Every structure is written in C-alpha cells, then in structure tokens.
Amino acid sequence: MNEELILQHGLTLDEFQVIRKYLNRDLSIEELGIFSAMWNEHCCYKTSKKWLKKLPTDNEIVIQGPGENAGVIDLQDNDGIAFKIESHNHPSYIEPFNGSATGVGGILRDIFTMGARPIATLDSIRFGLIETEKTKYLLNGVVHGIGHYGNCIGIPNIGGECEFESTYDFNNLVNAMAMGHVQKDKIFYSKPKSIGGLIVYIGSKTGKDGIHGASMASDVFSEEDEDEKRPSVQVGDPFMEKLLMEGCLELMSSGLIESMQDMGAAGITSSSVEMASKGNVGVYINLDKVPLRQPLSAYEILLSESQERMLAVIDKKNNHKVREILQKWQIDYEVIGEITDTKRVVFESNNKIVVDLPVEIIVDDAPEYDREFYIPRKRKNKDFDFSKIKLEDMIINLLTNLNYLDKSWVFDQYDSTVMGDTIREPGQSSGIVKIHGTQKVIGASTDCNPLYIRINPYEGMKYTVAESYRNLIACNINPLAITNNLNFASPLDPNIMGELVLSIHGLKTAAIKFNTPIVSGNVSLYNQTNEIPIKPTPVIGMVGSNMDLNKINTNKFCEIGNKILILGKQLTKNCSPYLLQDQKIAFNISEFNDLEVLNLDFEKKIANCVLELSDLKCIMSCNDISRGGIFSALLKMQYKDMGFRVKVPDPIDLFCEYSAGYVIEIRSKDFEEVTSFLTKKGAEYLEIGEIIKEGIEINSKKFDYFDIMNKYRNDFEKIIS
C-alpha cells in the first residue's frame, strides 16, 4: 500500500506496520478505512487513555461507568439517570448550524440507546472575541443549530455556559450534554446476548455525509481546510430523530431488543466493532442490505456518518413484531447481518468479502501512547497596582464584557420548558428538572475555567470541579457524579500534553474528595487552527439530585429588607485571575501569579453548611460566587424590583473570586439562628448588606439601578448584532 494513502487515512506508518505484521497480508481499502476510523483519537483515545484510567469511576451509586454509550447513576427506587457530554467542535467551526445540531442529535442518541428517555440538555459553547469577523456568524449558527435540533425533538435545554476568548477565534468549542431517565431494571447495553441474533439497521438511510468525520475530528486545522472539509459535516434531521427515539423506546420497553448501539462517529464500522468487542463475539454484515439514500461504495457505507441511525440485535422470532412497531413510526428497518462466534468482523459487498478482521487487532491492539509532557514552570510573584482603579470603571468593565452580561439572547432561542418538568431554567446557577411522576429532581451544571487551568492546570481543574459543585450546592442539590469533555490543542506539544495530564490529576483529586465519580466523557484534541492553540478547556458536567423538589433554593432575590451574607474565603487580589484580566490589570498569561491552593475540605465544609441551612428553610435565595465576584453574583440574583445595598472594606473586594463562595439571602428574623449555626460550624461569614427596592448602593454610593439592570439584561444582544 502506498504511504500517501496510509497517511491520508490518519495512520502513522508505524501504526500501519503493526497492522500489516499482525495480518501478514495486504489490507483492502475498506479495511484501511476501518483502521482509520477506529484508531484515531476520537474513537480509541490513544493519547489520553493512559491518564483517563487514573480517574475514579465507581462508587455506591454508579450503575454504569465509562465505556458504554452513557454513564448511569442510581437515583433510588427504580430510577436511574443516564448522562454524557460530547464535543462537536470541528464540525461546528466548518458549518456551525449543522455541526452543532448534529452534536445535540448525537448526544441524545447516546442517552436513548441506553433505554433512557432524554429529559434535559445543556451546552457549553465557547467562541472567539466578538470583534473577530467570524464570531457573530459562528455564534448565530451554533445557537440556531442547538435550538433547531433540541426544540424540534422536544427535550428542554436547561443551561450551560457561553464564553468568549481570543484563543477560540478560529476554533470554537461546542460541547453538548444530555441526561435521561431510565428504569434501573430496563437499562440497555451494547453487548449482544446470543450467537445467531439478527443485526438490524434502524433509522435514516445512509448517505455520503460525514464520511471521515471522526478522523477529521482528530486533525489539526488550517483555514484553507474549511471549504474542503465541509462535506465531512453531517446533516441532521431532528424530526427523524424524534421518530427514531419514540420507535426505539417503544421497542425497548416491549422487550423486543437484546442490545443497541447508535451509529455515531465512524458510523456502522464503529457500532458493529464495539458490539463484537463488548460481547466477545463476531459480526457478519452484508453491506448490500444497508438502506441507501444514493449509490455508495462499500468503503463509503462503512465510513458514512449519516445521522439518526441505530444498530440493534434482536432474536429472530421478534423480527415481525419489530418491523410492525417501526412501520408505525415510519422508520426504515432492515436485517443486515448476524452475530457470529468467529470473533471476527466480516463485511460482505457484491458477493465479495471486503473486510475480514479479528476484533482483537482493531480494539485491543489499538495504539496507546505515552506522550512526552512538561510540567509548567513555577510562577514568579508579582504585585499589581490597584490604587488607580475606580469602582465606576470596574462596573463599566463588567457591563461591556460579553462574558458577564445576561445571556437570555442565547437561552431564549431554546425551548426550556417542554416536557413540563422544568424547575430551573437556563441562566441560573444550575438547570433543574423533575423526574416525571416523582418528587425527585436532578440538577446539572457545566463548567470550565480555562484561564485558571492555563495558569496552573492541576489547581485550575480543582477550581473547575469546585465551581460546578458550588453551582449545585447553591440550589440545594447534592452533587453525585461527573461527565467530562477534555478539549485541548495538539498533544504532540509537550506543554499542551502537560496541561492534559495535570488537569486530569486535578479532576481526580477533586472527584475523589467530593465523591463524584466520572461516569462518562469525551476527549477532543488538536483544537488549534493556524498554530494558535486554544486554552486548555476540560469541561465538566456535574449532576446532582434532591429527593424533595420543595427543598430547592432559588437563585433570585425573594424579599426587600432581607439580609445578604457572604460565605467562603476571598482570593487575594493578586491571585484573582479574572479580576486581573477583566479589570484590565494583567494582560498576558505570564503576568499572572500562581493560583492559591484550593482547600477542598473547606469547600465541603461550607457546602454542608449551605445544604443544612437550606433544609432548615433559612436560605431565601443563594448564588455561588465565581468570575466577577460578589458583584456579578448579585446582578444575577436581581429579580422584579429588587436591588441591593452593600458595604465592604474595599470596593475591589466585590469583584474578587472566592473559594467556597456563596451569597445567601436570609430573613432578619432568622439572622440569629443562621449566624450562630455558622459560628458553631466554624464557618466564617460576612454580613454585607440588604435587599432594597429599585436601587444599587455600594459603600453609600448610589448607582443608577435601571441603567445597570438595563445594560446587564439587554447589551448582550446589542453587542453581538
């Protein structure tokens, strides 16, 4: 085989030699295609596997950890929650609308493949600076695409994040998370149960879209690539997915299916190989039976990433019943092969065997690299001059920065109340939905702190996990488990690889301390265009629960006259990176001081205080303190005609970041009870002020309430249009 062809398929010559030696024969072009699809980063995690293995993935509530389509946790009784986050970064840069739409479609299939009905989605999206020409186009396209798909299929979008930063100028990030509700005794896995089971194809016909999508997702980009790679982006049809979802859920609840696997990245290749590998069996598939949208070669069928398709294994005797149910939903259905005992993957096309490979070489022998990595050098301490900055300017800086403004423009394009179980909509510290027909709620939050992680990947990652944790705690939701989406630039650069390794360690440390195992996830590498690497962006989605929906806290002010208390510990001004960056004090990454070590025990201690006070109904509203400090948290809490009057030793304190930071609103009559409780627990607090009508007052200085709130609520749309 010629070298160029091998390299075009994203394999190194060394990797090819391993295959060649194992098989002791030449490969067919179809077989080369299979290795291209299965041996890239996206499918086999060859760079990250060594480190991912170190993550905690199990505890008493984990029903299914990483390795299946989604992780599943126990929510008592017969209720389980399946959830996962996945990236669609590269496709969303090339074609933002379809790229993001199919990102949502893909993650939803991962959920209902497990037998779970999807009940909520969240999105973590990051773009370049709004001044960059392309950003507005990407933002509009991505938001439209996410909305288009989720709204049509009818799954509420309950939150996420949307940030702007220069390193994402030519490499925006789109990470979509979904959660589903499953009966614990009806979880479906990809492992087939019996030899001789029929392999059936369910869903849309196969077309040319998305061929080589997975290997594209494992590639470095240059700008010229954009047009050339557009045909590699899949096109989504949410209506078809809705039918597919209802059809599959009906099949599963009727017990007509043995196992199921969605045809996601690397299409029929990946799903059939996974099936064989999980069951330690073989598969035989006749590609001539695959429903096609247009004439395709065997090679194209194997690698197509056409959307809304599933592969399932059924018992022969159920063939007729399965067909009947799918006819009702007007879904294509075809028997295309069967489970064999050969432990080989065999594909036939035009009466010819085009692929005949042992499962072992594709899956077990997939490459695993121990790439070189550097540990970042220690930072030198630096003092900053805060004397010149004025409170008025600080407020203006925040209110002209997209990252601080209310993002209703984004969330209003999503249906967040369909299914009728939404408790907290997007824009609050975490999204919350009720488990249908119960009093239980689940909450979720997605977070990442790329600046912190660039400064110190290990500590930064601890802060990221702590932020999600606080988001849930603030609502009185008990954090339970994590899904992660590790977005990094090229791991061939030892500095980037160092960020990857250390942040995984940070994730491990925090996840163990919080007892929130990682049950699913995704890795997206090579996020760099024109040699500009993105900031390290390991996004986490944390899921938690409360068994009683009446105990949930609101993030919005409740009543004029109530007191405002601060819990937690302020980071020093010199070590408060977003204060320094967004108040235009520090500019380059090299100027920042090292992060303060985050004390996770302290985080837990304060969190437990918030949870206990919430259960005692002493907390009227609560919000966590993150980027933008207390001031930003207070703006988010504003509601109806309520504002705030606060007094602090130094106005800059209002803009610093915190560890274990929460703003809580309490009634005057509860003040004694709350403060003596906190004192007893050894938790320091600061009483900073009270809720007032239509006013914002800081250290006796009055600000224009209506002007500030108007800017906060409406300027996002003005800036981006």
Partner 1 sequence: MSFKSAVITFPGSNCDRDALCYLKDLTKGEVHNIWHEETSLPKVDLVILPGGFSFGDYLRSGAMASKSKIIDEVVKHANDNRYLLGICNGFQILTEIGLLEGALIRNKKLKFLGKNCFIKKKFKNNFNLSIKDNQILQIPVAHNEGNFYCDTETLNILKNNEQIAFEYCKGEFSNTEENINGSIEAIAGITNKKKNVLGMMPHPERAYSDFHQSQDGRLIIESLIS
Provide the annotated active-site residues.
42, 88
Q: Rule CB under 8 A: which of 427-456 touch partner 1?
A: 434
| Length of the chain counted residue by residue | 721
- x-or-dash pattern for partner 1, window 501-520, by CB under 8 A? --------------------
| 242: contact with partner 1 by CB under 8 A | yes
Based on CB atoms, which residue is closest to partner 1, 155 or 466?
A: 155
Sequence-distant (≥ 6) Cβ neighbours of residue 31 within 8 angstroms:
354, 355, 357
How many angstroms separate the CA atoms of 368 and 404, rounded? 41
| 308: contact with partner 1 by CB under 8 A | no
| 675: contact with partner 1 by CB under 8 A | no
| 126: contact with partner 1 by CB under 8 A | no
Based on CB atoms, which residue is closest to partner 1, 330 or 700?
A: 330
| 29: contact with partner 1 by CB under 8 A | no
Based on CB atoms, which residue is closest to partner 1, 214 or 634?
A: 634
| 660: contact with partner 1 by CB under 8 A | no
Q: Minimum Å distance from CB 238 to partner 1?
A: 7
Q: Minimum Å distance from CB 164 to partner 1?
A: 20
| 560: contact with partner 1 by CB under 8 A | no
Task: Give bridge partners of residue 623 from the DSSP assignment.
Answer: 663
Q: Rule CB under 8 A: which of 522-551 touch partner 1?
A: 549
**75 — phi, psi (to 5°)?**
-120, 35
| 147: contact with partner 1 by CB under 8 A | yes
Q: Six-digit token pair at 474?
A: 């603030």
| 399: contact with partner 1 by CB under 8 A | no
Based on CB atoms, which residue is closest to partner 1, 569 or 713?
A: 713
| 419: contact with partner 1 by CB under 8 A | yes
Handedness of CA 392, 395, 397, 400 (dihedral sign): negative
| 414: contact with partner 1 by CB under 8 A | yes
Selected binder of partner 1 within 42, 88, 109, 148 (CB under 8 A): 148
Sequence-distant (≥ 6) Cβ neighbours of residue 662 within 8 angstroms:
470, 473, 474, 566, 567, 568, 606, 610, 622, 623, 624, 625
Based on CB atoms, which residue is closest to partner 1, 244 or 567?
A: 244
Other CB atoms within a 10 A radius of the CB of residue 618 amount to 17
Residue closest to 624 by CA, chosen among 596, 579, 578, 657:
657
How many angstroms separate the CA atoms of 258 and 133, rounded? 50
Based on CB atoms, which residue is closest to partner 1, 538 or 643?
A: 643
Residue closest to 217 by CA, chosen among 524, 593, 505:
524
Max CA distance (Å), the chain: 85
Based on CB atoms, which residue is closest to partner 1, 274 or 308?
A: 308
Selected binder of partner 1 within 218, 416, 476, 555 (CB under 8 A): 416
| 468: contact with partner 1 by CB under 8 A | no
- x-or-dash pattern for partner 1, window 211-240, by CB under 8 A? --------------------------xxxx
Other CB atoms within a 10 A radius of the CB of residue 677 amount to 17
| 682: contact with partner 1 by CB under 8 A | no
How many angstroms separate the CA atoms of 660 and 657, rounded? 10
Helix (H) or strand (E) holding 72: strand 71-74
| 51: contact with partner 1 by CB under 8 A | no
Taking each helix axis from N to C terminus, what angle separates 238-253 and 133-153, rounded to the nearest 10 degrees?
A: 40
| 417: contact with partner 1 by CB under 8 A | yes
CA distance between the termini of the chain: 52
Q: Six-digit token pair at 331?
A: 């879904």
Q: With the CA atoms of 581, 583, 586 and 589 taken in that order, what torsion angle do they form, in degrees rounded to the nearest 10?
A: 10
Q: Judge whether 339 and 281 are in contact, CB under 8 Å.
A: yes
Based on CB atoms, which residue is closest to partner 1, 151 or 659?
A: 151
- x-or-dash pattern for partner 1, window 150-189, by CB under 8 A? -xxxx-----------------------------------
Q: Judge whether 284 and 335 are in contact, CB under 8 Å.
A: no
| 243: contact with partner 1 by CB under 8 A | yes
| 57: contact with partner 1 by CB under 8 A | no
Buried/exposed code over 623-656 (b: 16+ C-beta within 10 A; e: otherwise): bbbbbbbbbbbbbbbbeeebbbbbebeebbbbbb
- x-or-dash pattern for partner 1, window 319-348, by CB under 8 A? ----------xx------------------
Give the binding site for partner 1 (CB under 8 A): 144, 147-148, 151-154, 237-240, 242-243, 329-330, 408, 411-420, 422-423, 434, 549, 639-641, 713-714
